[in-house]
Structure 1
Amino acid sequence: MTSLRRLSVRDLIDGRPFGRFQTLLVFLGFMTIVLDGFDAVVMGYIAPQLKLDWGLSHESLGAVLSAGLIGQAIGAMAGGPLADRYGRKPVVVSNVLFFGIWTLATAMSSDVRGMVIFRFLTGLGLGAAIPNTSTLISEYAPQRMRSFLITVTLCGYTAGGAGGGFISAWMIPAFGWRSVVLAAGVLPVILGVILMALMPESLGFLVARKKGAAAVKAIVARIAPEIARTPYELVQDAQSPHRSSSIRIVLAPQYRMGTAMLWCGYFCVLFLIYLLSSWLPTLVKEGGGYSVSESAIAMAMFQVGGPIGSLAIGWAMDRWSKHWILAGVFLIGAASVAAIGETSQYYLALCGLALVVGFCMSGGSVGMTALATGYYPTEARATGSSWMLGIGRIGAILSAMLGAEMLSLGWSMSDIFTALVIPALIAAVAVLAHKRWDTPRAAGVIQHGAIPHDKDASKPVSTNP
């Protein structure tokens, strides 16, 4: 008689090589984030031309840029709890379709008011895509390469932003700004249909929710066919002893201070990234006296640095102290930001420094997402990650407004970039402070009774082929 084999989801994934099923998932996640990144920064690329065509003031342009960021903040904070309740896949797919459709509407805008409304609605979809995609990837990634795989996926954001820069530099002069926005809307709709067919639900979520036995069996057969051919039970990796909402778990005493440091650091990082994403082309054009195409290329260099930094930082985080790696790159980023303000008359140097800032700050932001997904338990992982991104989006909203205000006050390029050193330094301090409260408990390791796992009460998913 064959005995029943009992193992956790984490043991199932960690005990096997990274296979084709997971590679497909990472590719789908990467493409989702590529289009999210393209769509999120497309308004920054068209801003100089839009301002010229419509005769917009800095304040009106700031309202258009801020509307999408407000939507992203709300979408991120709502999307995580929804994904922890209903599943990662339905939230990711619906949000990709949602932001694609409203981006198409944005391309048809005829006035500022309509564009503000459409960008707000677009932002609702954009905000939920990154945290829930990264959560899904983290739950299929072996622990030994989790940070790297998350950063591989999320570097799609800056890859999409960089690709958008080169596309914009070609399409805006040739076809006008609406052509770029149309491209940013059509592609997500196509991808959403593909995701419906190919993207799996999280195995950890299915087991934690004790549902979808057929789906669990199909997923196990693709990850570990030798296990699928024998009787087995899957149990949840770690579970709170009390049934609590995901939000209450994120704010529970054992996570509270670590959560606060993640929020503080990510707020500052996104403040800096989005200010540059929204205003760098305008700053380069007006502060340096360059053309629209030259300013778009400088912005593209900032975006190119992101995926390079994401891969390098993720690789390093899997080998050395995550916190010290992130703090170090944020400090280098701070120095590079200060240097940009002093090199506005040297185009090649400006582009090179923009690349370094993108490497450090955009790459570091992806590293912080990997840090967050490893900090919380399964039943609160999407919420913990998405709320960090939601708080970060508030910084992004303020950055768009502050960028418009600084330009309206007549600040020089040097003054603006000197001021931007401050958030980079705060982010480095917050990451190091988080180290004090970071423990392996959220990754499924039970320490000090923080997350006891009552295996008899867990009602594991059992499959007997």
Structure 2
Amino acid sequence: MKKENDTPLDVQAFFNSQGFSGYQWLIFSLCFLVVLLDGFDTAAIGYIAPSLIGEWGVAKPALAPVLSAALFGLAAGALSAGPLADKFGRRAVLTASVLVFGLASLASSFSGSLDSLTVLRFVTGLGLGAAMPNAVTLTSEYCPDKQRAMLTNAMFCGFPLGAAFGGFLAAWMIPHWGWRSVLLLGGAVPVVLALLMLVALPESVRYMVAKGQPSERIRRVLARISATAATASSFVLTERQAGPVSGSGLALVLGRSHRIGSFMLWLAYFMGLVIFYALINWMPILLKDAGMDPHKAVLVAALFPLGGVGAVFCGWLMDRFNANRIIAIGYALTALSIYLIGQTVGHDGWLVVMVFVAGTLMNTAQSSMPALAAVFYPTQGRATGVAWMLGIGRFGGIAGSFLVAELAARSLGFDRIFTIVAIPGLIATAALIVKQWVHPQAPVGRSLRDPAAEPVAH
């Protein structure tokens, strides 16, 4: 029998000293699949929108409620799930949320009217909104410091990949089996994944230490990463934050030491989602109205979220340089590239290139925001901080959907619509510059050997 070590084990130092183990890759993979399906289900409604117009004979402005219903649910789900996860744990809330959006998407595939589809898309959104921030938080809390942004961004790449994959799949499935098949697939797979998560997904070790849970439970999880943890008798974690920790959950997020940074994160993410949902929901229709074949319009629009894979490289940069400035540059270049899309109408080759470039820049910046938020908040408020940024940001998605609906109703041209949609990128840039000014930030992956670091013992 191994003799227990009386020296407390610092769990973050433990992660930093180990290679990224197979067990951590399992956690990463499960969270990646959650976010992949989140992206697929979130974007699905935009890809089936032209089919809804044809089958149900509705006008384009009438689609705004169903296109934005999931976004209202996403906001509500994120705002409530963060505090719940900081209180009851990441694992339970994440698993339940995947099951909710899977079942709701299954039910959506049997909708017989626009009204029933709108209601079910809202319920789907509740699950989607609760899932994403907890997948981000759980992944972040199992990462070594020097790779946290890169690994968290790599996991979050599942969202744009899922959205893009949904476009390519929808373009193939809808002609064969109709638009309902897309929602059916988007519901069945998450239900299976939720059952797998019940068996294989652990709770966050950092959360368990912060909440003073039994040492044996913590030791059992850490021992699956490395046998060196098997002899530890007690555990401690060290936090590096923007200021002294006071309270937990929302009280911490809105406390004096984090308040301005929180508001700037919310504003930047909000503006990013104005762009993302304005284009992901409406680009197939806008391209079709500009004279492009509907099938080709869906394929070109699917290139926009595909560009999010650039977030892995952005995460690498964030681990080495100033993360606020890196993402701010991404948003500024996004604004320029969105404007240029509007100038390429009638030139299909250049249009394809600019959609992909804009998608790469925009989704790289947007997909990097959860990693930025995760490192900004300590464990006691991390799930709430990430979730509220994502939740508040969802209202930007709602605004983006209604913005393009209003611009289309006013009969604005293709170029003018894209010029207006580019402006939020400049606002997001300014928000991150303000955050850096108020909360000067070193590279995300910097060691926690910091005089401001605070130990949390168990």
What range is the shorter-chain TM-score in?
over 0.9
Q: Which amino acid aligns with 1:390?
A: G
Instruction: From 116, 121, 124, give the equivalent of 1:119.
Output: 121
Instruction: Provide the residue aligned with 2:215 in structure 1.
Output: 213
Instruction: From 47, 50, 71, give the equivalent of 2:49.
Output: 47
Q: Is the 8 A contact 1:302 1:351 kept in 2?
A: no
TM-score normalised by the chain length of structure 2:
0.94
Distance across 2 between alignment mates of 1:176 and 1:97? 24
Q: Is the 8 A contact 1:37 1:156 kept in 2?
A: yes
Q: Which amino acid aligns with 1:90?
A: A
Q: Give the C-alpha shift of residue 231 in structure 1.
A: 3.8
Q: Is the 8 A contact 2:269 2:366 kept in 1?
A: yes
- The SS at the match of 2:9 is strand
Instruction: Provide the residue aligned with 1:381 in structure 2.
Output: 382
Q: Is 1:284 equivalent to 2:303 in the alignment?
A: no
Aligned pair count reads 452
Q: Which amino acid aligns with 1:395?
A: G
Distance across 1 between alignment mates of 2:98 and 2:422? 34
- The SS at the match of 2:345 is coil
Deviations 1:332-387 (A, max 9, x none): 11111011101111122112111111111111111111100000000100000000
Q: Which amino acid aligns with 2:384?
A: T
Q: Give the C-alpha shift of residue 97 in structure 1.
A: 0.6
- Superposed, 1:27-38 pairs within 5 Å as 27-38=29-40
- Superposed, 1:142-181 pairs within 5 Å as 142-181=144-183
Deviations 1:439-464 (A, max 9, x none): 47999959786x754x6xx4x1xxxx
Q: Give the C-alpha shift of residue 325 in structure 1.
A: 1.4
RMSD of aligned C-alpha atoms? 2.0
Q: Is the 8 A contact 2:322 2:444 kept in 1?
A: no
Q: Which amino acid aligns with 2:134?
A: N
Q: Which amino acid aligns with 2:377?
A: Y
Distance across 2 between alignment mates of 1:242 and 1:311? 30
| Counterparts in 2 of 1:102 and 1:10: CA distance versus 1, 3 Å | same
Q: Is the 8 A contact 1:301 1:352 kept in 2?
A: no
Q: Give the C-alpha shift of residue 214 in structure 1.
A: 3.2
Instruction: Provide the residue aligned with 1:192 in structure 2.
Output: 194
Distance across 2 between alignment mates of 1:35 and 1:391? 21
- Give percent identity, aligned residues only: 38
| Counterparts in 2 of 1:331 and 1:50: CA distance versus 1, 3 Å | same
Q: Is the 8 A contact 1:313 1:363 kept in 2?
A: yes
Q: Give the C-alpha shift of residue 89 in structure 1.
A: 0.6
Instruction: Provide the residue aligned with 2:426 in structure 1.
Output: 425
Q: Give the C-alpha shift of residue 433 in structure 1.
A: 1.5
Q: Give the C-alpha shift of residue 56 in structure 1.
A: 1.1
- Superposed, 1:7-46 pairs within 5 Å as 7-46=9-48
Q: Give the C-alpha shift of residue 405 in structure 1.
A: 1.1
Instruction: Provide the residue aligned with 1:85 in structure 2.
Output: 87
- The SS at the match of 2:234 is strand
Deviations 1:414-457 (A, max 9, x none): 110001121011111111221121447999959786x754x6xx
| Counterparts in 2 of 1:7 and 1:349: CA distance versus 1, 3 Å | same
Q: Which amino acid aligns with 2:361?
A: C
Q: Is the 8 A contact 2:71 2:398 kept in 1?
A: yes
Runs of 5+ in structure 1 lacking a partner?
A: 461-465
Q: Is the 8 A contact 2:245 2:252 kept in 1?
A: no
Q: Give the C-alpha shift of residue 212 in structure 1.
A: 4.1
Deviations 1:248-287 (A, max 9, x none): 100111101111111111110011111111111111111x
Q: Is 1:251 equivalent to 2:271 in the alignment?
A: no
Q: Is the 8 A contact 1:375 1:440 kept in 2?
A: no
Deviations 1:126-180 (A, max 9, x none): 0111111010000000000000001110000011111111101111112111111
Distance across 2 between alignment mates of 1:415 and 1:99? 36
Q: Is 1:74 equivalent to 2:76 in the alignment?
A: yes
Q: Is the 8 A contact 2:149 2:444 kept in 1?
A: no
- The SS at the match of 1:236 is strand
| Counterparts in 2 of 1:322 and 1:241: CA distance versus 1, 3 Å | closer
- The SS at the match of 1:415 is helix
Distance across 2 between alignment mates of 1:295 and 1:441? 40
Runs of 5+ in structure 2 lacking a partner?
A: none
